[in-house]
Amino acid sequence: MPELHRVDARDKLLGRTRYIDDVNPPGVLHAAFVVSPAHRGRIRRVVLPPGFDQAAFTIVGSGDIPGVNLVPEPVSDEPFLAVDEALWRGQPILAVAHPDRDTARAFARAVQVVVDEEEAVTDPAIALDDESRVFGRELLIDHGTHEPPEERWLHLSRTYTTPHQEQAYLEPQGMLAEWDVDARHMRVTGSMQCPFFVKEAVEVILGDEVAEVSVCQAEGVGGAFGGKEDFPNVMAGTVALLAWRSGQPVKLVLERDDDLLITPKRHPSRITIESWTDRTSGRLRRLDIDYRLDAGACQTLSPVVLARGVLHVAGGYSCPAVRVRGRLFHSDTPPNGAFRGFGAPQGLFALEAHIDDIAAELSLDPATFRQRNVMHAADSFPTTQPVAEDNLADCLNELLSQCSYDSLRADIDTWNMAHRHKLGIGLSLGFHGGGYTGGGETRLASRVCITLHPDGAAEVLAANVEMGQGASTTLAVCAAQGLGLPLSRVRTAVPDTARVPNSGPTVASRTIYIVGNMLRRLGANIREELGDIDEWCEKAGDELPRTFEATYQPDPAATFDEDTYRGAAYRHYSWAACAAMVQVDADTSEVRIEKMWSVVDAGALVHPGIAMGQVYGGMTQACGWSLGEWWHKPGHGRLGSLTDYALPTAVDAPPFDVRFLHTDSDISKGLGELPMDYPAPAVRNAVLHATGIAIDDLPLLPERLAARLRKDNTSVC
């Protein structure tokens, strides 16, 4: 495929792409939330501020909802608007709309919400340590643990924790609703990942008042990373309620500080791993893992994150006996939700850190220990699913060659003997199942369409959004490959539920893996049916435009029991190996990443440039999570500004050396989430090599490392 430009690049570079804040229909009202000032408590009264012309405002609360006041989620326990109880600081209580945006925001800020505050738990460390705060379904995987461990095996138990993480998308959350009172039709446009999820949310909140709901992605979506999977349901439901009540278009675009305060983040985790390892062979014999996530005040999407987390936390290692217990814990903080990796980064941080801890106890090089235990074909996952390939071992071996691991580690050891500032190199392995867990893709029954037009162009119709990751290009490439057409002849429609079929949400590394592969097969089927497409189009006449459709076909051999967690949790897996070299400052204990290597197997690459960008972006996010991104302030909950939240910049990103393996595969696998999964433990393990200090809590703040050095009465020098 010679034409591999990004089809949206020129418009974005020239500023022609319209984002939701660029869309202002005549008569539009601007909305703002009135939110809870308390972490928890009974709402006694809400006092509207004097000095405003209240007749100029549209104001809605929970009592104005004609439908159901529950956001549709895997667990629908979050109200669109609070009723009489504040569940977290920043929870929407009212929504107001006014013709002037600044006036709407000033009014909302001036509303007095009186709450009888109750004792609240906002520290994830406290919530995750309290067994009385468990809620929701407990997940259990138990594979081969009926025999007790042997006393001669090395027994090691450690607990690892990870914090919240902010998605930090470039464009804050935004949504526009337009109400056609005669047709009883609600039209919603916004910055989102899942148009059909948003459609359901608007139908739920408006109930019988609405006859039809259509939802369209804004032309441009300025990043999402999972953060625009679930919260757009709240946004859309609220603006639709305001539009229905006022009879005018209503737009809500969050200010950055409000976005930081009230939207879902990555789940904090507390993961305890007990391992038993044969001292003679250096082989893992048993893993017992307690996997905990802080869900926040409501479950919402958390059970699905928990499911993926427990399915990845045992890592890419062959171990005959594995037990994983997964649970959600309640805190009085905003509900946590989707973020790139979806529970896997937390688990792989803990597991890969533990692998280095075992290697240290056995006096084995971490690379050697990984090579002895890495999964191979004919091994099995803890769910009993057979491993189908040696690709993870291939990634590890290629990585060790790529970074000249043996000589580099020896050189680092020599350097550290002569220098105050210490270097270290750390390794990690990663893997990620593509698509929805278990039977999720079967239940979704995704559909895609390709329309052939009279001008000879082909149009891709799918619900998967372009949010900066390149979907408008890669989906067109997949269709073009199947059709045998140049990319210049294929375009991707902006997702609009009134026009495109439901191909499922833009989540779970499924856009190319599920939808792209469906489009490639559909294109090939069209070409087989029609022959030469150009010749057919010349003769088709009134048959054009003609639309062809395909529905997802599950593999009948890949079954998964969601009650026992046995079977094929995912049909295909993407694999990766990573090395990180760090320098630890002897005076400040600051950790700087000097270089990072990564070898990735994501199957056939649809667009090598976009694939490389995905890896660079995910690894950069993981580096930030590793070293500086820190949300919680004791007694306060979340910090409220990017001034207080240390995001990595281009200056902080280390040089990346990325290679792809097995690109001659007959399938394109998931890639978007994988690069977030594995870099953090490689950085942690590099710090362990540099200092001899095992930090088991992210982020690796200089204060934490310095405190450990003082406690152990050691020095980096």
CB 341 within 8 A of CB 676: yes
Provide CB contacts within 8 A for 714, sequence distance 6+: 691, 692, 693
412: left (phi over 0), alpha (psi -120 to 50) or beta: alpha
- The predicted structure's pLDDT at residue 1: 42
pTM given for the model = 0.96
Residue 640 has pLDDT above 90, yes or no: no
Mean pLDDT along residues 490-506: 97
Domain spans of the chain, in order of start: 29-119+173-253, 269-436+567-711, 440-551
Distance between CA atoms of 43 and 36, rounded to whole angstroms?
9
- The predicted structure's pLDDT at residue 430: 98
Distance between CA atoms of 411 and 414, rounded to whole angstroms?
5
**Model confidence over 176-185: pLDDT tens digits?**
999 999 999 9
Residue 474 has pLDDT above 70, yes or no: yes
As a CATH number, domain 269-436+567-711 is 3.30.365.10
Question: What's domain 29-119+173-253's architecture?
Answer: Alpha-Beta Complex (3.90)
Lowest-confidence segment of 17-21, 152-156, 316-320, 706-710 by average pLDDT: 706-710
- The predicted structure's pLDDT at residue 649: 87
Share of the chain above pLDDT 70, in %: 97
Hey, do 269-436+567-711 and 440-551 end up sharing a CATH topology, with the first three levels equal? Answer: yes
Q: Which CATH class is domain 440-551?
A: alpha beta
DSSP state string for 176-224: EEEEETTTTEEEEEES-S-HHHHHHHHHHHHGGG-SEEEEEE-S-----
Question: What is the three-state SS of 291-311?
Answer: EEEEEECCCECHHHHHHHHHH
Residue 317 has pLDDT above 60, yes or no: yes
Provide CB contacts within 8 A for 130, sequence distance 6+: 121, 329
Residue 223 has pLDDT above 50, yes or no: yes
Mean pLDDT along residues 435-450: 97
**Model confidence over 554-602: pLDDT tens digits?**
999 899 999 999 999 999 999 999 999 999 999 999 999 999 999 999 9
Q: What one-character DSSP code corresponds to residue 52?
A: S
**Model confidence over 52-69: pLDDT tens digits?**
999 999 999 999 999 999
Q: Please give the C-alpha separations between residue 417 and each of 410, 411, 689, 716, in angstroms, as whole numbers.
A: 11, 10, 13, 11
Q: Please give the C-alpha separations between residue 229 and each of 98, 139, 475, in angstroms, as whole numbers.
A: 27, 23, 20
Residue 716 has pLDDT above 90, yes or no: no
For the record, the structure tokens of 228 come out as 């625009």
Q: What one-character DSSP code corresponds to residue 251?
A: E
Residue 208 has pLDDT above 70, yes or no: yes
pLDDT-derived band at 651 (thresholds 50, 70, 90) equals confident
Mean pLDDT along residues 643-657: 89
Cβ count within 10 A of residue 265: 25
Lowest-confidence segment of 160-169, 511-520, 529-538 by average pLDDT: 529-538
pLDDT-derived band at 5 (thresholds 50, 70, 90) equals confident
> How confident is the prediction for the chain on average, in pLDDT?
95
pLDDT-derived band at 83 (thresholds 50, 70, 90) equals very high
